[in-house]
Amino acid sequence: MKLLLLSLFVCLAGYSSAEEEPPIYDEDKVPEFTLPDTLVFEDGTPVTNPADWEIRRAEILNLFAEHVYGHVPKGISNEIFPAVRKEIDFLEGKATLKEIRIHFAKPDGPFMDLLLIAPKGTERGSPTFLGYNFGGNHIIHPSTEISLPESWMRKSKVKGAVVDDKATEKGRGTSTRWPVEKFIDQGIALATIYYGDVDPDFDDGFENGVHALFGKPEVNEWGSIGTWAWALSRALDYLETDPLSDAGKVAVFGHSRLGKTSLWAGATDPRFAMVISNDSGCGGAALSRRRFGERVARINTSFPHWFNDKFPAYNENENALPVDQHQLMALIAPRALCVGSASEDQWADPKGEYLSAAGADPVYQLLGKQGLGKEIRYHLRAGKHDVTDFDWDQYINTFKTEVIGE
Ligand code: GCU
């Protein structure tokens, strides 16, 4: 009887048992669900015009901050103190390589090192891809001109590339994910930062990176993804001051956890002209309610520091979420949005990523855009969880047609 009452109470309270279920990889096992309607206000009133949308947009943005990614703590400083550390010719004179150390909040505050590689010979700054790398700026190209990161470094698959949590020379040029010359030849600059400069990617109780300065977050305040996204906006603040970059034409890019980050950065900062999510999966482009591949309970257990402390309330309880990821995509409207998936990356739920991108279409339509197939681009590439030249070709093409205007 006691047990019965207890389970009745648990059901009424809306909690599911916290026990984690195995991942779904079979379309037939995807549960039925109803997505929250992006074009209806929380009070049930329909959103019928672009002015309404601005208000609804703020409502959705706030729900994502409150329940998923966390608010930026009130009162923290957005001020940056950049210092150029190097500026040289690069790629046989085709490009300029520049390294900028950007301190947060005060001249000796924590810092991130931005590497900017830009085509030469342009009068105005160049359209720019801005994105974090996983292993340090030096992994994107073999040049010994690129400084090694100084901050804590995650383990590397490359032997000897990380020793005692620090990057070594062995990591130079080991990433295949950054076709630098291709960007330069297309007239596009690359700005990249090692994400661990901003917040080292482990569950340390928020004591390092910028958290050393800004302190431990409240339950509804940012986790690591929120922090990484905020720092991308600080990088854009810097690019606005650098003549090598055309800051009105910056596409924010990210792969995997960094794709979750680029989406949140694009949602929170409308200055990003285009947003790219590559294989971002759960908590990124994939719909949470499909529960396919990785799901909310798993991500909050494996990576308790990524989201805010309210998100675990939706473990095995996705239908209770006040938002779903198609609404994150809608927050990018009317700007260009690219979502890329890979066929063997079922953990990230390619179909859920597609449905999410397509689910943003009504907002683009409301704003007088064509939406899916034009400003919203989706591609499914054959192969594994990775960033390939094929992926970049899609992003470059969209950048050119939708942002650069060629
Ligand atoms: C894990 C995690 C994913 C994440 C990925 C990555 O696989 O479960 O959510 O996208 O790591 O960032 O590499």
pLDDT in tens, the chain (406 residues): 344 443 433 333 333 445 788 999 999 999 999 999 999 999 999 999 999 999 999 999 999 999 999 999 999 999 999 999 999 999 999 999 999 999 999 999 999 999 999 999 888 899 999 999 999 999 999 999 999 999 999 999 999 999 999 999 999 999 999 999 999 999 999 999 999 999 999 988 889 899 989 999 999 999 999 999 999 999 999 999 999 999 999 999 999 999 999 999 999 999 999 999 999 999 999 999 999 999 999 999 999 999 999 999 999 999 999 999 999 999 999 999 999 999 999 999 999 999 999 999 999 999 999 999 999 999 999 999 999 999 999 999 999 999 999 8
Q: With a 6 A CB cut-off, is 177 part of the ligand 1 pocket?
A: no
Q: How many CA atoms lie within 13 A of 101 on its CB side?
A: 15
- Three-class SS state of 380: strand
CA 204 / ligand 1 centre spacing (Å):
18
**pLDDT at 1 (0 to 100):** 37
Measured in residues, the chain has a length of 406
Q: With a 6 A CB cut-off, is 99 part of the ligand 1 pocket?
A: no
Residue 26's contacts (CB-CB under 8 Å, 6 or more residues apart) are none
| Domain boundaries, given as residue ranges, for the chain | 1-69+273-406, 74-248
CA 64 / ligand 1 centre spacing (Å):
20
327 vs 360: CA distance, rounded Å: 6
Q: Say what angle helices 50-64 and 257-268 make with each other, to 10 degrees.
A: 140
What are φ and ψ of residue 360, in 5° steps? -85, -15
222 vs 231: CA distance, rounded Å: 12
Give the domain 1-69+273-406 fold.
Answer: Rossmann fold (3.40.50)
Q: How do beta strands 95-104 and 166-167 pair?
A: unpaired
**pLDDT at 18 (0 to 100):** 55
**pLDDT at 117 (0 to 100):** 98
Q: Closest Cα to residue 211, out of 129, 353, 109? A: 109
**SS3 breakdown of the chain: % helix, strand, coil, rounded to 5?**
35, 20, 45
**pLDDT at 140 (0 to 100):** 98
Active-site position among 245, 256, 288, 341: 256
316 vs 318: CA distance, rounded Å: 6
312 vs 182: CA distance, rounded Å: 41
Q: Among 134, 157, 202, 256, which is best to mutate for testing ligand 1, by the most ligand atoms less than 8 A from CB?
A: 256
Residue 64's contacts (CB-CB under 8 Å, 6 or more residues apart) are 264, 267, 323, 327, 328, 331
256 part of the active site:
yes
316 vs 16: CA distance, rounded Å: 7
Q: With a 6 A CB cut-off, is 256 part of the ligand 1 pocket?
A: yes
139 vs 326: CA distance, rounded Å: 33
Q: With a 6 A CB cut-off, is 282 part of the ligand 1 pocket?
A: yes
User: What strands, in cross-sheet order, belong to the sheet with 274-278?
Assistant: 80-90, 95-104, 111-119, 189-194, 126-133, 245-255, 274-278, 336-342, 376-381
Ligand 1: atom nearest CA of 260 is 10
b/e 262-284 (16+ beta carbons within 10 angstroms → b): bbbbbbbbebbbbbbbbbbbbbb
pTM: 0.95
Q: With a 6 A CB cut-off, is 294 part of the ligand 1 pocket?
A: yes
